[in-house]
């Protein structure tokens, strides 16, 4: 199971690389806006942080680009910036056409905004490198997500599709575990989600207790 950081804030990415050994980064227009930097500047900075590694950075194409003719040159332009870049495209017809054409040019696609099994199946069929089923948004909408992840993994395995499944918009440690139990390849979550998931009140309590015993005991 790989852990990706869902962020375009370079300090957060550097922290997660150093302390959590994250395996890759996903960005979206919300994260880029939150970074406070222009799009091209921030993606170049992120590329530097992973230079020389095999960690991928998913970079989302301008969401206004909804035709094949608009997507292709932009995807090629972004992919030429860094070998780590995977081009993030919205789940739509133009993307289904673009995925195999970009693959022929050696450009990998992360098909994003996937909310149903049939969308996932189609993205895998046409050869997406990553597919990103969003579970946080579905849960907020009262939909079941554990079964959704299991279904997507089962379809991938039934037909031996090569796509890697990124369980996206992950909000809790429980969702990380659900994704791992279902056999998803990757989860992507924000730094705060990982921080909370890696802590437990009993761990804090244990540290306090053992520190107090330690302080009452001679070392030699």
Residues 153 to 172 in contact with ligand E4P, rule: CB under 6 A: 168-169
Of 30, 44, 174, 209, the residue at the interface with ligand E4P (CB under 6 A) is 30
Selected from 56, 119, 132, 175, the binder of ligand E4P by CB under 6 A is 132
197-211: string of b/e by CB count within 10 Å (b at 16+)? beeeeeeeeeeeeee
Residue 28 makes contact with ligand E4P by CB under 6 A: yes
Are 56 and 84 spatial neighbours (Cβ–Cβ below 8 Å)?
A: yes
| Closer by beta carbon to ligand E4P, 99 or else 169 | 169
Residue 35 DSSP SS3: helix
Residue 138 annotated in active site: no
Please identify which residue in the block is written with the tokens 């890759």.
24
Q: How far is the CA of 159 from the CAs of 18, 152, 163, 167, 182, in angstroms?
A: 37, 11, 11, 19, 17
Q: Write the Ramachandran bin of 88: left for phi over 0, alpha for psi from -120 to 50, otherwise beta.
A: beta
Residue (30 or 209) nearer to ligand E4P, CB: 30
Residue 145 contacts ligand E4P per CB under 6 A: no
3, 5, 6, 133: residue in contact with ligand E4P (rule CB under 6 A): 6
Residues that bind ligand E4P (CB under 6 A): 6, 26, 28, 30, 112, 132, 134, 136, 168-169, 188
Which residue numbers are catalytic? Answer: 88
């Amino acid at each position: 199971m790989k852990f990706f950081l869902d962020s375009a804030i370079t300090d957060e990415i550097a922290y997660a690389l150093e302390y959590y050994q994250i395996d890759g980064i996903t960005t979206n227009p919300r994260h880029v806006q939150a970074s406070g930097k222009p799009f091209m500047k921030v993606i170049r900075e992120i590329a530097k942080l992973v230079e020389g590694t095999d960690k991928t950075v998913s970079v989302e194409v301008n969401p206004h680009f909804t035709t094949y003719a608009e997507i292709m040159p932009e995807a090629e332009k972004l992919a030429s910036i860094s070998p780590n870049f995977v081009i993030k495209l919205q789940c739509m017809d133009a993307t289904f056409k673009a995925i195999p054409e970009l693959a022929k040019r050696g450009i990998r696609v992360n098909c994003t905004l996937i909310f149903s099994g049939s969308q996932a199946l189609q993205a895998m069929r046409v050869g997406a490198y990553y597919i990103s089923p969003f579970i946080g948004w579905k849960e907020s909408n009262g939909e079941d997500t554990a079964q959704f992840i299991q279904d997507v993994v089962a379809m991938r395995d039934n037909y031996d599709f090569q796509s890697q499944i990124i369980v996206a918009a992950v909000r809790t440690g429980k969702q990380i575990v659900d994704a791992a139990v279902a056999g998803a390849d990757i989860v992507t979550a924000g730094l705060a989600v990982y921080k909370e998931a890696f802590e437990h009140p009993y761990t804090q309590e244990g540290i306090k207790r053992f520190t107090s015993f330690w302080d009452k005991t001679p070392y030699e």
